[in-house]
Amino acid sequence: MIQIAQYQDGRMELQEAPAPTPPPGGVLVRLTHSVISAGTERMKVEQARMSLLQKARARPDQVRKVLEAARTLGWRSAFEKVRNRLEMPAPLGYSAAGIVERVDSGNTRFRAGDRVAVGGAECAFHAELVAVPDMLAVQIPDGVENWQAAYTTIASIALQAVRQLEPALGDRVLVVGQGLIGLLVTALLRASGARVLAIDVAPERIEQARAMGAERVLIPSQHNVDDHIRLWTDGFGVDSAVLAASTATNAATEQALRALRDRGRLVVVGKAKVDLPWEYAFTKEIEVRFSRSYGPGRYDPQYEWGGMDYPIGYVRWTERRNFEACLQLIKSGALDLDALTTRRLPFSSALSAYEDLVAEHAASEAGIVLEYNEAEVAASNVTPIASRRLVRAPSPAESPRVQQLAAPVQRVDVIGAGNFARSMLLPHLKDRVTLGTVVNATALSAAHVRKKFGFAAATTDTASVLGESENAAVLIAARHNLHAPLVSTALAAHRHVFVEKPLCLTREELAAIEGALRNSRGTLQVGFNRRFSGAAAELQELLRNAPGPKSASYRVMAGAFDPSHWFANFAESGGRILGESCHFLDFFCFLFESEPVRISAQPLSSTAGRPSFPDSFAAQVEFADGSCGQLIYSAEGDSSWPKELCTVFAPGFVAEIRDFQTLTVHRKRRRVVSRFAGKGHAEQMAAWVAFLRGEKPHPLGFESIRRSTALTFAALEAIQQGRSIEL
């Protein structure tokens, strides 16, 4: 891997280095972005380029160490120690983001493919790969891009300073220094409801400070700072001040002390000289606080490297919790990182960025984002799951489609009029829409259905119906293997299609349907009826109001195969996993309203003999929000047991749906039972009819259909391959 190396004789290189190993309980992360902290890292570069005499003047503490070594070891040994120190390269960087490539066996929070923000001057370097402990890595939420998340550690420094300040709503705060940290402090103070007056020596900072929320920006060489502060505070002085400047003189400290009101508070976050003149500090009874880096836990090896978190009841905001808070502030837009990002450049150009930092125009720099080779990350053997969830481009079929019809459809044709269609679907269409032609393989059955439900015509010829392309809809309830070709043909004729589950039996068929939908003026709905039931709607509303991940256990006692039934023919039905379990996997997606990211499954019955595919299996689905769905689909059991039982565990309650007839909610030691009628077939058809009449929007988007169908294919693959499948 490539890493930036800074030598104490001033040299800087992009250097080849061996890949690091995750520390115990930690992770190996392939970076996509890191941020150069202009002030901190410019200081390191400038110090490295100093002469020995300049270094001695700048760091008298180090000189004392050398003298002590000379007294105890002799001058020759002391000189050798100094030379070895100067020859040793040092890493740069401490705030970055990337994708987890490998996880130590002791870590259970992260998985390969997770997007994470990482921090720490001891580990989060400007390098292609970094190894960080668990406590210095946090997951990036959806809605935050990786380049934004790379600011997390730096933003946490500013956040900790604001926490030390404890601003009240409406407080007037002086921020001395508008470098990267000072600008972030300004933005966070504005977000907290405080008013900010900013000071910086560089006129280039004025617009940046205003963009980050400063009411006024003063340049000492251009303004009488004391007079401006007196007018801005009605003569009282500022309530508090943040010293975010890096300076070797005491001028900034004295300026802040003069500006403070009686019993004001000063927080020091920058590397500034802080001598407290008695006439200011004592007479005003000033409170002085220093802000230590990212927050509690910093520099504590038991916390950072030992993984021993502080109890939240005693330490509310640790450095990791500060990381998480910053990411949420970025997601909400409270931190406008575009306003302080002066450059984004490839990692290969990093050395030129450091040269610019020490140049005369460095005052114009704030945040410099280094971008690593994301193509290489995508081409690695790690699938960046979380990243894909965030930035996945919509498929063409997801583009805006007909949401509500301007005029009702002229008629509905039906293909397939078996017992299921006659009992569960057609009764809810009769007398609500104009029924055109019914198609069935058996002529006598077609004639019977035409007469019973009031169709205009009956036929056994599917092609004669789908060949007509006028404004019409079609309901498809044929054998499963016919669904995909019929759907594609109907969409090509610009029909509004309702197809009973499953949509199709292969991924290739799904791709073909997606292509047909992309070029069609029609729409598509699949018969995932359980999500339309009254019990499902009430349970989903309960879950929406419950924070955090949930878990569901769905148990289906389907009964044994009838070997003579067409469903036992895999070529026609696709088997029970594709043909039936899609219902229950879709129900998980409906309940959690989150993206499924991983599924594992196993057969629960032998596939020897007939049928040669499992009719019983168990699956577990992991969702992006941390929720989990467990499905047991069994042909074994006793008929006295409910056919379908879904139990959901959520914060504050447990709910159970029994055959979609009852919903029982256990909450606050009380049990409330609601009763319903049916598994959602009536509600599903009513919603589709309302769409066909132009009364309501389409009831089920294709993205939901595609997601549930792909999840079903993944369940079958998990069984076939004996491993978990990532989506």
Contact predicate 392/678, CB 8 Å? no
**How far from the centroid of its chain's Cα atoms is residue 208's Cα?**
29
CATH architecture of 1-41+92-151+293-392: Alpha-Beta Complex (3.90)
Q: Where in the chain is the domain with CATH 3.90.180.10?
A: 1-41+92-151+293-392
Which parts of 478-614 fold into alpha helices (H)?
480-492, 507-518, 534-544, 570-573, 575-579, 581-592
For the segment 656-671, what is each residue's pLDDT rounded down to a tens digit? 999 999 999 999 999 9
User: Among residues of the chain, what percentage have pLDDT more than 70?
Assistant: 87
**Distance between CA atoms of residues 629 and 616, nearest Å:** 17
For the segment 51-64, what is each residue's pLDDT rounded down to a tens digit? 656 555 666 666 66
With vertex at residue 297, the alpha carbon angle to CA 292 and CA 301, rounded to the nearest 5 degrees, is 115
pLDDT at residue 8 in the model = 74
CATH architecture of 398-526: 3-Layer(aba) Sandwich (3.40)
For the segment 57-88, what is each residue's pLDDT rounded down to a tens digit? 666 666 666 667 666 667 666 666 666 666 66
| Residue 392 clears pLDDT 60, i.e. is over it | no
pLDDT at residue 397 in the model = 40
Which of the four pLDDT bands, split at 50, 70 and 90, describes residue 404? confident
For the segment 491-524, what is each residue's pLDDT rounded down to a tens digit? 999 999 999 999 999 999 999 999 999 999 999 9
**Distance between CA atoms of residues 84 and 63, nearest Å:** 15
| Residue 389 clears pLDDT 50, i.e. is over it | no
pLDDT at residue 53 in the model = 60
Q: Which CATH superfamily groups domain 530-726?
A: Dihydrodipicolinate Reductase; domain 2 (3.30.360.10)
Q: Name the residue with tokens 């406590």.
A: 135
For residue 620, count other CB atoms closer than 10 A to its CB: 19
Q: Token digits for 191?
A: 């977000």
For the segment 596-639, what is each residue's pLDDT rounded down to a tens digit? 999 999 998 755 544 556 778 999 999 999 999 999 999 888 88
Q: Where in the chain is the domain with CATH 3.40.50.720?
A: 160-291, 398-526
**Distance between CA atoms of residues 223 and 217, nearest Å:** 10
Contact predicate 146/97, CB 8 Å? yes
CATH of domain 160-291: 3.40.50.720
β-sheet with 551-557: strand ranges across: 670-675, 662-667, 653-658, 644-650, 551-557, 628-634, 617-623, 596-603, 725-726
